[in-house]
Structure 1
C-alpha cells in the first residue's frame, strides 16, 4: 500500500485534458446517481404530505416550514438534474472541460441545497413529533454532523494530503 507521502510526491495521472474531462465526467455522473435517488425519494414523500389528514392540523409556522422544505427539495432536484441537462445541451461543442466544471458546480449547489432541505424537513418532523425546546438543538447537532461529514472532513483530507493537483 502506498504511503500518504508517496501519494503527495506522485506525478499523478498521465492524461490529456480531454481524457481528464472524460474521467471527471464519469465520476461526477456516478456521484449524482448516488445522491439523486435519495433526493427523489425525499422530494416524493414531501409532495405527498400536503394530502394527508394531519396536514390540515398544522399551524402557520409548520405550514411555512413545509412550503420552504418543498421549495428547497425542488431546487435541489433542479440543480442535480441540471448537471445532466447541462451536458446534454453542451455536448458536441468541444467544451467537455468547461462542461465538467459547470456541472460540478451545479452538483455542489445541489449538495448544499440538500443540506438545507434535510435541515428544514428535520425541523418540521421534530417540531411535530417532539413539541420540545430541544428541537433546534437536535437539528443543529445533525446539521453539524452533516457539515463534518460532507465538508469539513473532505476539506481536511484535501489540505492534509493534497499535492496541489486537482483530480
Structure 2
C-alpha cells in the first residue's frame, strides 16, 4: 500500500508532487484539521475546570468525583496532544525535516483525537449520571462512543481502504 508520504510514483493516482511539496500540503491540511479539534477540546476543558468551583460539585458521589477527576486529566492530555503539532512546527521550522514533522504531528493528532473521545465519553457519563441517576446511562454513553468511533475512525479507514486499493 502506498501512503501519502511515499515517494513512489508508479501506478499512483493524485498529485504529482515532490516529497517537500507533499509535506507542505499535508502540513497545511493537518493544521486546519487540528484547529477544529483544538477548539472543541479547549472549550470542553475550560468548562471542566469550572465544575469543581460550583456548589453542585460538593453533592457529587465518590464515583462521580472520580469520573470528574479522570475526565479532567484525560482532557488535559487531549489538549496537550492537540496543541502539540503547533509547538512541534514552531520548534522544527526551517530545519528541513518537514516530512518527519508532519508524520509526528499526525501521530500526535491521532492520539489527541483518541483522548478527546475518552474525554467526551467520560464528560457525557458524568453529566448523564448527575442529571438522571438512571441505570441506562452507560448504555447511552456506549452508543455515543460507538458513533464517535464510526465517524472518527471506521468511516475514514473504510474510505481509505476502499479508494486506495
- How far the C-alpha of 1:12 sits from its partner, in A, is 1.5
**TM-score normalised over the length of structure 2:** 0.91
Structure 2: state its 5+ residue gaps. Answer: 1-10
**Residue 22 of structure 1, aligned match among 2, 19, 24:** 24
- How far the C-alpha of 1:10 sits from its partner, in A, is 6.0
**Structure 1 segment 142-161 matched on structure 2, within 5 A:** 142-161=144-163
Alpha carbon RMSD of aligned pairs, Å? 1.0
Tell me the residue number matched to 1:136: 138
The 3-state SS of whatever aligns with 2:38 is helix
Tell me the residue number matched to 2:14: 12
Partners of 1:16 and 1:156 lie apart in 2 by 27
Deviations 1:75-103 (A, max 9, x none): 00000111110111111111000000000
**TM-score normalised over the length of structure 1:** 0.90
Q: Could you say which structure has the greater relative contact order, defined with CA pairs below 8 angstroms and 6 or more residues apart?
A: 1
Partners of 2:66 and 2:122 lie apart in 1 by 10
The 3-state SS of whatever aligns with 1:14 is coil
Partners of 2:124 and 2:22 lie apart in 1 by 39
Deviations 1:3-40 (A, max 9, x none): xxxxxx76311111100000000000000111111111
- How far the C-alpha of 1:146 sits from its partner, in A, is 0.6
Deviations 1:95-130 (A, max 9, x none): 000000000000010000000000110110011111
Stretches of 4+ moved more than 6 A in 1? none
Tell me the residue number matched to 2:4: none
Tell me the residue number matched to 1:104: 106
The 3-state SS of whatever aligns with 2:101 is helix
Change in CA separation of 1:79 and 1:55 when aligned onto 2, cut-off 3 Å: same
Structure 1: state its 5+ residue gaps. Answer: 1-8
Aligned residues: 155
Partners of 2:137 and 2:46 lie apart in 1 by 24
